[in-house]
Structure 1
Amino acid sequence: MTPRKKLDVFLRSRKVGELTGNGLKLAFQYDPEIVSEYGAGSILLSLSMPLSRRKFEGPVVYDFFDGLLPEGQVRSHLAKENGLSTPDAFGLLRVLGADCAGAVQVLRPGESPEVPGAAIPMTDDEVTTVVESLPTWDLPNDFLVTASLGGIHSKVLLTRQGEGWAWPGRGAASTHIIKPAPLESAIPDLLASEDWALKVAAATGLTAAKSRLQIFGSREAIIVDRFDRASDGSRIHQEDFTQALALGSGAKYEGTSTPPSRLTRLANAAALHTRDDAAFRRALLRAVTFNVAIGNGDAHSKNYSLTLLDGGELRLAPLYDVAPTLLLYAPSNNAGHTVGGQIRLGYITLEHLVREGAAWGMDKEDARQTAVSALEALGSAASTSQPPERLEFLRKLVPARVEDLLIGGTARRQ
């Protein structure tokens, strides 16, 4: 029998448990003193793995830890570079686990979660070279990829130091995501529209990641401030909805309209651990309403997250990866989640949104008022938020979609 290898799992720089595995079989166990301190059943690492003295095994463990890793071409490239198979989450975390989404670090036994001086200052030319080379890597010899972030798009994680950038060496916390425009994409102006949508979300009153556009050599890129990093660079814990629901990254798009919906399951499970369950459900419905109204065909379960506070309280994390994809590319018509029994963006109406909120336990009138107020705020914010000239049509189209929804219809695409 192949011996099971071990990795230490840290949360907020404190060891909370041990990940063991061989091949693709993973197991996780919390340290007994952590269970004693916080209490069995408390939420610390993941909604899908409440604190317990028993060992977690099987898909729930693989899905959570695999969800910390990138997908697609980026993952394949990193696996090849390190002599690993693409599905080998344990092997990839051994290399990339020093800086993950949230406050998680997965480290080799004996390795410290905090390494002074691990961030290596970079010149502007080095940053440009790294961004331009994605999805492959063109790095100086002493730069190793030791940080990981879920998702399919090519991106680089860097640490902001004053006015410059630094490479997050092993143990350093990255603070920003730089995502260049894909070399090949069916969706035109995706990054510019994402930057605009994030700014509109903030103007609407939703909590959203901060972003800006910048040119790096020949590549336009969006720079996103990591909302899972505090102003002092410390880590804030979060997990996406696939991890919270023990779903694999490959199942990020909901594939059925059979009730209960995925959002219903998430809302009901998370609300038990929120300070104000009614406020949590309203925040989630506002976020879903926003994504439907702007035509976001990528609002799947890896593009919504929960923030997990140290005391076990859950909150809805800021919006991120929001873009009006349907308005740029007509086939992008998948809502990501079933909303009131409907999965196609082009068929969702205000009544679907109300029905979805009611399925979470909201009073129907409360759900209606929540969705309507979110739509009205979006219509005003979109009409006054300036996009790049090539996307000027969004200032009229998104408010027009809002009006379509408010009068009970489906939202126009052009």
Structure 2
Amino acid sequence: MKRQSLDVFLHGRHIGVLSGTSLRLSFQYDAEIVAEYGVSSILLSLALPVARRKIADTAVLNYFDGLLPEGQVRSHLASQNGLATPDAIGLLRVLGGDCAGAVQVLPEGMSPDGRGKAIPMTDEEVAKVVEALPTWDLPDDFAITASLGGIQSKVLLNRSGDRWMWPGRGAVSTHIIKPEPLDSPIPHLLPAEDWALKVAAAAGLRAAEARLETFGARQAIVVTRYDRTAEGGRLHQEDFTQALGLGSEAKYEGTTAPPSRLTRLVSTAAPHTRDDDGFRRDLLRAVTFNLVIGNGDAHSKNYSLLIRDGGEVLLAPLYDAAPTLLLYAPSKNAGHAIGGQAGLNHLTLEHVIKEAAAWGLDPDDARATAAAVLEAVAGAATATPAQDVISFLNQLVPARAEDLLNGRTARRALDNQASART
């Protein structure tokens, strides 16, 4: 296999070189970066602390591969570019100009400065792109050079004033447009996700901003990227699989044996937070929210960390949060083991408190924090308008909150719905 090298930039600054073949990658930090930040500092990833030596373990492949899409989207992009689907370094050579966070992965000699390279799009061009997903029907000068992890088809665009722009190589994308999946068994997924994110915000939780919009014949959710600034800058972030050095294929925790994955994440991240108990509470709030709404897609790629330039770590806002269990009964995997239980239908408030205690949070503090979230979400769910097809969520989510507060498992349906209570 041909060995390749790519330059890695963070916030527009060269920080190192990624090299290797499709399945064997290594990363070398620049000597200037090592001297400035110091060995073991956190800059790019919790799993890849600054080091003098070349880093050649699996965490390198897992971090950089985690910047790329999964599934059918990845296969299609690989085919379009004459690459093998597993070829992470080959795909990053094409797609690494605009990734999640503030990292850019570019061919040698290419500048990371993408300002001025965004191409204006007509409404018709945008609609055509969205309608074609998960494949792409693009004008000749619209090369795909941006990448975002995940299995769901999406397009990354820049919003400038009242018009959409195509992000040329290195240009910043500011929004994610996800149309209703063509083959998902989960009905009404997009309006439910839009509703859930609005409920989270109304309950006082940090959540990505979203809205529903129709492009041609397809409805889509438009999400404002939380890892971008209002001025078009980049904020650095990584998801939990990357932070733990795990591959994207391991996004669902595969065991309930202690220590849990979330416990390991807290142990890794907390020393780099300004307030370690504050970080634990933020994570507990997010986990409690995903439980009460019945989110069966709350795996390790749907939780992320923000990493500031000085190495401070914060929990990223909620995103990709939807009440999947309440729309589709088989979607019952909590994504992570919580207090030794991973089934949404079997989790109680006591599991949540036990989990938070394993992170090092005082049990009384954990109980008060989780209860406050349940109460706030119940009120927000009642007050947040929902489309008619999902209007039952206005009653069901508060009922689930009440169940959990009363020490029970949360019901999956209202008494007047066809599905039996679990």
Give the structure-1-normalised TM-score.
0.99
Map 1:329-368 onto structure 2 (within 5 A): 329-368=328-367
Secondary structure of 2:85 counterpart:
coil
1:147 aligns with: 146
Residue 51 (1) aligns with residue 50 (2): yes
Q: Distance in 2 between matches of 1:138 and 1:108?
A: 25
Q: Deviations over 1:156-212 (max 9, x none)?
A: 000001100000000100000000001121000000000000000001111000000
Deviation for aligned residue 1:390: 1.3
Secondary structure of 1:272 counterpart:
helix
1:246 aligns with: 245
Q: Distance in 2 between matches of 1:197 and 1:211?
A: 10
1:413 aligns with: 412
1:128 aligns with: 127
Deviation for aligned residue 1:268: 1.2
Q: Distance in 2 between matches of 1:243 and 1:204?
A: 29
Residue 269 (1) aligns with residue 237 (2): no
Deviation for aligned residue 1:4: 2.8
Aligned residues between the structures? 413
Residue 107 (1) aligns with residue 101 (2): no
Deviation for aligned residue 1:58: 2.8
Deviation for aligned residue 1:5: 1.5
Secondary structure of 1:137 counterpart:
coil
Gapped runs of 5+ residues in structure 1?
none
1:197 aligns with: 196
Q: Deviations over 1:354-404 (max 9, x none)?
A: 000000001111111111111111111111111111111000000000000
Map 1:386-405 onto structure 2 (within 5 A): 386-405=385-404
2:417 aligns with: none
**Structure 2 residue identity aligned to 1:324:** P
**Structure 2 residue identity aligned to 1:355:** K
Q: Distance in 2 between matches of 1:324 and 1:23?
A: 37
Moved more, 364-373 or 244-253: 364-373
2:59 aligns with: 60
**Structure 2 residue identity aligned to 1:409:** R
Secondary structure of 1:224 counterpart:
strand
Instruction: Check whether the contact 2:197–2:319 (CA below 8 A) recurs between aligned residues.
Output: yes
Q: Distance in 2 between matches of 1:10 and 1:21?
A: 17
Deviation for aligned residue 1:23: 2.9
Map 1:10-409 onto structure 2 (within 5 A): 10-409=9-408
Moved more, 52-61 or 276-285: 52-61
Secondary structure of 2:272 counterpart:
coil
Deviation for aligned residue 1:24: 1.3
**Structure 1 residue identity aligned to 2:151:** I
Q: Distance in 1 between matches of 2:368 and 2:307?
A: 28
Q: Distance in 1 between matches of 2:29 and 2:371?
A: 44
Deviation for aligned residue 1:3: 5.6
Gapped runs of 5+ residues in structure 2?
414-422
Q: Distance in 2 between matches of 1:286 and 1:115?
A: 37
Q: Deviations over 1:82-138 (max 9, x none)?
A: 000000000000000000000000000110001342100000000000000000000
Q: Distance in 1 between matches of 2:332 and 2:363?
A: 27
Identity of aligned residues (%): 67
Q: Deviations over 1:219-247 (max 9, x none)?
A: 00000000000000100000000000000
Deviation for aligned residue 1:41: 1.1
Q: Distance in 2 between matches of 1:336 and 1:24?
A: 26
Q: Distance in 1 between matches of 2:22 and 2:350?
A: 47
Q: Distance in 2 between matches of 1:23 and 1:175?
A: 29
Q: Distance in 2 between matches of 1:279 and 1:45?
A: 23
Instruction: Check whether the contact 2:213–2:222 (CA below 8 A) recurs between aligned residues.
Output: yes
Instruction: Check whether the contact 2:22–2:86 (CA below 8 A) recurs between aligned residues.
Output: no
Q: Distance in 2 between matches of 1:214 and 1:390?
A: 17
Q: Distance in 1 between matches of 2:189 and 2:216?
A: 19
- Detail structure 1 runs of 4+ shifted over 3 Å in the superposition: none
